[in-house]
Amino acid sequence: MADTLRSGWITTGPKTQQFESAFGERVGAAGALGLNSCTAGLHLGLLALGIKAGDEVITTPMTFCACANVIEHLGATPVLVDVEPDTLNLCPKAVEAAITPRTRAVLAVHYAGHPVDLDAIQDIASRHGIAVIEDAAHALPASYKGRMIGSGDNPVAFSFYATKNLTTGEGGMLTGSPELIARARTLGLHGMSRDAWKRYGHGGSWFYQVDEPGFKYNMTDVQAAMGLAQLRKLDRFQARRREIVAAYNQAFQDMDALEIPVERPEVDHAWHLYVLRLRLGALRIDRDQFINELTALNIGTSVHFIPIHIHPFYQQKYHYQPNQFPVAYEAYGRMLSLPLHPLLSDADVSDVVSAVLDVAQRFAR
C-alpha cells in the first residue's frame, strides 16, 4: 500500500493491472477486469452479453437485491425461479420451465459460497441458445467439479466488499473471455478507448475518444494494492474459515432444532456464509426471537437474504405472492447467518456455539 501511495498513482493504474493479472491467474480466468463493485461487474457482464430492454433474465429470489436491480436498469425483466432445498441455489428444472422466447440469459448466484449446479445450468442454456452470467460475490475461492469459479469464458462477477472473503473495502472483479473483458473495460470507464487511463502517465497523450456512452466503474490502485495483499493471504483465510465451519458442524449436527448447511461432494465451498436453518417444529420460538435471544447473549447474526420477491418494489411491480417461491420463502423464515470470519478466535467460536446451543435447548419443545 505504501509504495502505491508514494508512486503517485492512486486511481486506476499499474497496480490495478497487476491485481487483475494476479486474480485472473488465481482463478484460472482468461481475462479479468477490476471494478468498484460486484454490482458493476454484473451490470457490465449483462451489457457485454447484449442484454437490452424487453429481454428476460432468469435469476433467483434468494439473493441480494443487486442481482435483480441490474436487470431492471437495462430495461430487461428479472424472471425469478425457485431454489433447491439443500443448497438454496437455482433449481435447474425451474430454470428450464421458465424459459420463453424472450429469455436471453440466466444469472446464477453461488449462494453462501456453494457453487450452483453449473453443468445442468449450462446445458440448459446451450440447448436454448441463452447466456449464463454468474454472481460469485460469495464464491472466492470456490470450485465446481475441479474447475475454479471464474475460470470460464462467460462473465463472472466477484465482490470485494468489506465483509467478503477477500476485501478491498469496496470493489469487485469481472472475469470472462478476453473479448468480453475488452468490451466491459471500455464500458466501465466512460466508454473511452482502451487504456485511456494511460493518458496521465509519462509519455501519455491527452487525446481520447468515447466509443459509446459508458459508466464510472473503475477500480483504484489503492483498492488494488489492498487486494494484492489480501490475495496472498487467501489460502490461510480459507483454512481458518473451514476450521470454524467444522467446529459449528460438529456442535450442531445432532441437534433436533438445527439444520446445518450442506457441501455437495462435487464442489469446494467458499464458506462466505454459515447459514443455519432452524427446525421450527422443534422450538417454541420463531427465527426472529431466536436472533433476539442470541443478541442478548452478545452474539451478532444476520439473515441472508430477504427474498427479492417480498421487497415492495418487486412485489408491487410483478404482483408476487410471498409463497410463490415456496422453497426460498420457507427457508427465509427459519435461517440465520452465524459469525464466520478468519479473525474469530477459538474462544469466539466457542462463545457462538455455547449461545446457539443454550437458546436451542432453553426453547426446545
Q: Which helix (H) or strand (E) holds 335?
A: strand 335-338
H helices of the chain, where?
Answer: 2-7, 14-27, 38-48, 66-73, 92-98, 118-128, 178-187, 221-252, 287-296, 312-318, 326-332, 346-362
**From the candidates 15, 52, 93, 164, which is the catalytic residue?**
164
Q: Cα–chain-centroid distance for residue 331?
A: 19
Q: What are φ and ψ of residue 301, in 5° steps?
A: -135, 175
Residues composing the chain: 365
List the 274-278 sheet strands across, edge first.
258-259, 274-278, 335-338
CA proximity to 135, closest of 125, 118, 124, 146: 118
Bond before 141 cis per omega within 30 degrees? yes
The residue type found at 108 is A
DSSP for 119-168?
A: HHHHHHHHHHT-EEEEE-TT-TT-EETTEETT-SSS-EEEE--TTSSS--
Q: Which helix (H) or strand (E) holds 80?
A: strand 77-80
Q: Say if strands 131-135 and 103-109 run parallel, antiparallel, or are unpaired.
A: parallel
Bond before 305 cis per omega within 30 degrees? yes
CA proximity to 310, closest of 322, 319, 318, 301: 322
164 catalytically annotated: yes
Do 264 and 87 contact (CB within 8 A), yes or no? yes
What's the N-to-C CA distance of the chain in angstroms?
54
Q: Is the dihedral of CA 116, 343, 253, 63 positive or negative?
A: negative
Q: Cα–chain-centroid distance for residue 201?
A: 34
Q: Is 133 exposed, middle or buried (0-12, 13-18, 19+ CB in 10 A)?
A: buried
- Radius of gyration over every alpha carbon of the chain, rounded to an integer in angstroms: 21
Catalytically active residues are 164
